[in-house]
Amino acid sequence: MLSPRPPAAHILAYAQTLDGGGVEKTLLRLAGSWAQLGRRVTLIVGDVAGPLARDLPDGVEVRQVGTKTMLGMSAIAAQTEAVAPDVLFCPGNHYTALAAWTRLRLGFRCPPIVAKISNALVRRDQNAAVAATYREWLRWHPRFVDRLVAMSPAMAEEACRMMGVPQAMVSVIPNPPPRPAPGTASPLVPNGRFLVGVGRLAPQKRWDRLIDAFADIDARDVSLMILGEGAERATIESQVAAYGLGDRVRLPGHVDDPTPTIARATALALVSDFEGVPGVLRESLAVGTPVVATDSSVAVREIVTSAAVGSVVAPGDAAGLVAALEHWLAPGRSRPNPIPQPGEDAATAYLDLFDETVLEHRFKRGFRPTA
């Protein structure tokens, strides 16, 4: 006897590029798991070239629509109408404008939309005028999103407050932890003690802040490695050269699996202006490497729960950042015990949410008022 068709049998998701961002990495892990669990998954990508192209999962239909710099709003709406999915998944804050346009264009024909909150909703990088506009934009989300996913309880509370949505509309589902990449090359490990940063070379990550602090630490036998790629490479390289740190700072680019390098580091640093739920902090603590992080998200202190596992400093506290790095560089400093990551059941939790959302959507359509 055949199993009944699940309500969300066909899932459509989309991404701009496969250049290596955390949102896109997580989307590929989820999409692959959904396909393995028997769902049809279609992925719309603006440009399929990039380091993550090798991670495209088997069983997922990939459609390239657009370019590296433009994933057309009209294209997403057109593809949604063409493939007729049961549910549309928006993988992060950066992409919700596309979801809004799709709902506007398709109207009643639009499938239910589930959107994940991937970054902080309170942005320190915004001036007063931009912040006010952004707050108003967040308040519009309940008009086009059916359900929201937050990666931690604190982020769920922030979503309810900033978007004006009831708690019942927000589900808490951690990101699935990364798996070791098959055939990964030997880890990049400098000689001696070293600090590591992992993330895109982008303004949000504020690697300039880390390099400033690194130049001021007393321990001169320590090196710094930043794993990631992005548009800020030239600026960062210029800063490194200006400090005369070319022999102590390495920028090897994107690495498929940074975990082996993180495990050998003295400490991991994340110094962003804003984040969502930084997976790299959880990855670091899972292998017993302490972390130094800016207070870039309400979720940071959910992860760095005590001074025994890491240090949290204010984004603008330059002296505090130097002191935190030197604390973990002190000889004989104890490393934390490994902390298992949450999210092992993330893929099935999403499928349960998708099924529930589709059923709710069908109920509303069946009982919509007539003119």
Distance CA 169, CA 25 (A): 25
The pTM (predicted TM-score) of the whole model is: 0.87
Judge whether 45 and 63 are in contact, CB under 8 Å: yes
Distance CA 322, CA 260 (A): 25
Positive or negative torsion for Cα 277, 278, 279, 283? negative
Among 62-66, 138-142, 251-255, the range scoring the smallest mean pLDDT is 62-66
Q: What is the pLDDT of residue 120?
A: 86
Q: Which residue has the tokens 């099935």?
A: 348
Whether 325 has a pLDDT exceeding 70, the answer reads: yes
Q: What is the pLDDT of residue 49?
A: 84
Positive or negative torsion for Cα 279, 255, 92, 315? positive
Closest of 319, 270, 267, 263 to residue 295, by C-alpha: 270
Q: Would you state the structure tokens that stand for residue 130, as one six-digit string?
A: 């931009």
Distance CA 114, CA 87 (A): 7
Beta pairing partners, 149: 116, 171
Residue 221 binned pLDDT confidence (cut-offs 50, 70, 90): very high
Distance CA 13, CA 62 (A): 10
Instruction: Provide the angle, in degrees to the nearest 10, between the axes of the packed helices 346-366 and 22-36.
Output: 80
Q: Which residue has the tokens 């960062």?
A: 236
The torsion angle over the Cα atoms of residues 130, 132, 136 and 141, rounded to 10 degrees, is 60
More confident residue, 52 or 213: 213
Q: What is the pLDDT of residue 267?
A: 98
Closest of 175, 57, 37, 169 to residue 114, by C-alpha: 169
* Other CB atoms within 10 A of residue 77 CB: 20
Residue 183 binned pLDDT confidence (cut-offs 50, 70, 90): low
Instruction: Provide the angle, in degrees to the nearest 10, between the axes of the packed helices 153-163 and 128-140.
Output: 90
Whether 67 has a pLDDT exceeding 80, the answer reads: no
Q: What is the mean pLDDT of residues 131-145?
A: 95
The chain-wide mean pLDDT, for the chain, equals: 91
Distance CA 270, CA 272 (A): 6
Interacting residues of 358 by C-beta distance below 8 A, sequence separation 6+: 7, 8, 86, 87, 111, 112
Closest of 258, 278, 261, 254 to residue 50, by C-alpha: 254
